C-alpha cells in the first residue's frame, strides 16, 4: 500500500522541482497505523473507482481499489501546498 500511494504521488502529483513526503505513523495504544503521502499538486485528487461493469480490465487507475479494499479507512486532505492521501491499516500480531 505504501508503494501504491508513493507511486501515485510520483506519477500524478509530481511538480517539477518538488518532492513528495511519506509518513508512517503508529497510533499509540491502538492496533492501527497510518500511512500519509503528501505531494505538491492539489489539482489532481484521487477518486474511489470500481472495476469495469463488463468485467474488463482497465489499463490503470485501479491501485486505489487495492487501497480501498485493504485500508480500514482512507481519504484525501488539502494542505497549504498540495494534498495528502492517507490510509489507516490494522496492525497484525505474530504469535
33 assigned to some structural domain: yes
Separation CA 74–CA 33 (nearest Å): 12
pLDDT tens digit sequence for 58-79: 556 678 888 988 999 999 999 9
Q: What pLDDT sits at residue 51? A: 60
95 assigned to some structural domain: no
Separation CA 1–CA 68 (nearest Å): 10
pLDDT tens digit sequence for 17-60: 888 999 999 877 778 899 999 998 877 666 666 666 666 555 56
pTM, whole model, 2 decimals? 0.78
pLDDT tens digit sequence for 74-94: 999 999 989 999 999 987 655
Domain total of the chain: 1
CATH number of the domain where residue 14 is located: 3.30.565.10
Domain that holds residue 31: 2-90
43 assigned to some structural domain: yes
Amino acid at each position: 500500500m505504501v508503494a501504491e500511494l508513493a507511486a501515485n504521488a510520483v506519477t500524478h502529483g509530481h511538480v517539477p522541482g518538488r518532492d513528495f513526503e511519506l509518513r508512517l505513523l503508529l497510533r499509540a495504544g491502538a492496533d492501527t497505523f497510518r500511512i500519509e503521502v503528501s505531494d505538491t499538486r492539489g489539482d489532481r485528487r484521487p477518486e474511489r473507482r470500481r472495476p469495469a461493469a463488463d468485467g474488463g480490465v482497465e489499463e490503470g487507475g485501479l491501485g486505489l481499489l487495492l487501497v480501498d479494499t485493504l485500508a480500514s479507512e482512507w481519504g484525501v486532505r488539502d494542505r497549504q501546498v498540495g494534498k495528502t492521501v492517507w490510509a489507516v491499516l490494522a496492525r497484525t500480531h505474530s504469535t
